[in-house]
Amino acid sequence: MKVDGTPYRTIWLAADGTTVQAIDQTLLPHRFVVRDLRTMEDAEVAIRTMIVRGAPLIGAAAAYGMALAMATDPSDAMLARAYTVLMESRPTAVNLRWALDDQRALLAPLPPAQRRRAAYRRAAEICDEDVEICRRIGENGLGLIRKLKPRDTKSGRINALTHCNAGWLATVDWGTALAPIYHAHDAGIPIHVWVDETRPRNQGASLTAWELGKHGVPHTVIADNAGGHLMQHDQVDFVITGTDRTTRGGDVCNKIGTYLKALAAHDNGVPFYVGLPYPTIDWTIVDGVRDIPIEERSARELSHMTGRTETGELATVQILPEGSAGANPAFDVTPARLVTALITERGVCDASEAGLLSLYPEQQNRAA
Ligand code: MRU
C-alpha cells in the first residue's frame, strides 16, 4: 500500500542484501520511522516489543530473523539457538511457529555454507506469498460484501466494524480483515468502517485508523465498548477481524475484546467474518479456549498511555492510581459457533473442521 504516494511493504530486504528493514509500528501514527534489523537479536526484539506485530508479519519477521542468524553464523548450534530465541518472542500467533518450522526444515539438511542464501530466499518467498494470499482474501471477502444490504437504508453505505489492526500493517501488504474492505472501496462500494480503539495498546486507533486514512477509506474510531450499541441501532452491517490462531475446529483467537464483539454480533444477527491466511490455522488444536496459549503482557500497557502533545512531542503519561494492580491478557478466543464464516485465500467456509477441510483437504489425515 502507499504512504503519501510511496509504495511500502511492512518489511523488506535493504539494498545491502543483508539488513532487514521494517516500519516501526510503536511510533505510528505520529512518526513514520523505518528500523534496521541487523542481527537475529534485533528481529527478536522487534517482535517482542511490537515494532512489528500482527500474526502474518510476525511470521515474516521470524523468517528474516532466521536469515539474519545464518548471515552471522550458519552453524547447527546457531540454527537451534535462533529457532528457540525467536519462538519465545511472542506465544499466541501460530504464524511464528509455522515460519520457524518452515525455515528449520529447509536449512537443517543443507551444508552450513549454503544456509545464508537459502534462508534469505525463503524469507523473501514467505513475504511474497503473504502478499498474494492477502490479495486473494480481499477478493474472496469482496464477494461477501457485495451480497450485503445496508441495515440503515438512509445512510446508503455499508458499515463494517473491525477490532485491533488486521490491515496491511499486520501483514506484509493488504491485510487480512482489511483486504476485503480495501477491495470494496477500490471497487466503488460506499463502505465506512467503525474502528475499535482496541485498548490497551490502541492498535485500532493508532494503526487501523492511520492506514485506512492513508488509503482514503471513510472510518470512525469508537471506544471498544460502543460496538454493541451501534449494532442494536442497525449501524453495523458486518464485523470483520483477523486472527492470530484458528483451530482446526474453527475457534478463532484474536486480540482481547474480539469475543465480546462476536457475542454482540450474534445477539443482533450481524454477520461476524474472520479473514485468515493458511499459516494461521493450527491443525494440531481443536478447542481454542482450552489449548491456545494466551500472551500475558505487562500491566504498564494499561497504566500508561503514549500520545502526541499539542506542541508535537511524544509523551507518556500514567492513567492508573499509584498502587493499583493491572492484568493484561492480550488475546481471547471466539468459539466457532459465533463465527459466521472464515475468509481464506482458497475461499469462504464455515467455521468448523468440515468447513476448513473442504478448503484444505490435504490436512484430512493430519492428527489433531
Ligand atoms: O498484539 P498484536 O497487535 O500483534 O495483535 C494483532 C491481532 O490481534 C490481529 O488481529 C491478528 O494478528 C490478525 S493480523 C492480520
Concatenated DSSP letters of 313-330:
-EEEEE-SPTT-----B-
Cα–Cα separations (whole angstroms), residue 167 to 75, 210, 279: 37, 10, 17
Residues 236, 349, single domain; the answer is: yes
Give 295's pLDDT tier (boundaries 50, 70, 90): very high
Residues 31, 108, single domain; the answer is: yes
The residue contributing the CA closest to ligand 1 atom 6 is: 54
Q: What is the CATH number of the domain that holds 247?
A: 3.40.50.10470
Residues 183, 109, single domain; the answer is: no
Q: What are 220-256's pLDDT values in tens digits? A: 999 999 999 999 999 999 999 999 999 999 999 999 9
Residues 160, 39, single domain; the answer is: no
The secondary element (H helix, E strand) that includes residue 35 is: strand 34-37
Domain termination site, one of 131, 157, 177 = 131
CA separation for the pair 182, 189 (Å, rounded): 10
Give 367's pLDDT tier (boundaries 50, 70, 90): confident
Long-range CB contacts (within 8 A, 24+) of 318-321: none
Q: What are 168-209's pLDDT values in tens digits? A: 999 999 999 999 999 999 999 999 999 999 999 999 999 999
Domain termination site, one of 131, 147, 175 = 131
182 contacts 215 by C-beta, under 8 angstroms: yes
CA separation for the pair 81, 227 (Å, rounded): 44
Give 148's pLDDT tier (boundaries 50, 70, 90): very high
CA separation for the pair 106, 123 (Å, rounded): 11
Residues 124, 186, single domain; the answer is: no
Cell of 24: 516501526
Q: What is the mean pLDDT of residues 123-135?
A: 98
Q: What are 53-82's pLDDT values in tens digits? A: 999 999 999 999 999 999 999 999 999 999
Residues 163, 125, single domain; the answer is: no
Give 149's pLDDT tier (boundaries 50, 70, 90): very high
Looking from the CA of residue 203, the nearest atom of ligand 1 is 3
How many domains does the chain divide into?
A: 2
Domain termination site, one of 110, 131, 152 = 131
Residues 250, 339, single domain; the answer is: yes
Residues 216, 355, single domain; the answer is: yes
The predicted structure's pLDDT at residue 300? 97
Residues 321, 257, single domain; the answer is: yes
| CB of 164 closer than 6 angstroms to any ligand 1 atom | yes
The percentage of the chain sitting over the pLDDT mark of 90, rounded to a whole number, equals: 97
| CB of 255 closer than 6 angstroms to any ligand 1 atom | yes
4 is catalytic: no
Of 195, 243, 272, best ligand 1 pocket probe by most atoms within 8 Å of the beta carbon? 243
Residues 112, 227, single domain; the answer is: no
Q: What distance lies between CA 93 and its chain's CA centroid?
A: 9
Containing structural domain, residue 265? 139-363
* 306 Cβ neighbours under 8 A, 6+ residues apart: 314, 315, 316, 317
Residue 169 domain-assigned?
A: yes
Give 366's pLDDT tier (boundaries 50, 70, 90): confident
Q: What is the mean pLDDT of residues 41-60?
A: 98
Dihedral angle of Cα 264, 268, 273, 274, to the nearest 10 degrees? 10
| CB of 54 closer than 6 angstroms to any ligand 1 atom | yes
Residue 91 domain-assigned?
A: yes
Residues 152, 291, single domain; the answer is: yes
Q: Is the whole model's pTM more than 0.85, yes or no?
A: yes
Quote the ligand 1 centre to 246 CA distance (angstroms): 12
Residue 368 domain-assigned?
A: no
| CB of 203 closer than 6 angstroms to any ligand 1 atom | yes
The percentage of the chain sitting over the pLDDT mark of 70, rounded to a whole number, equals: 100
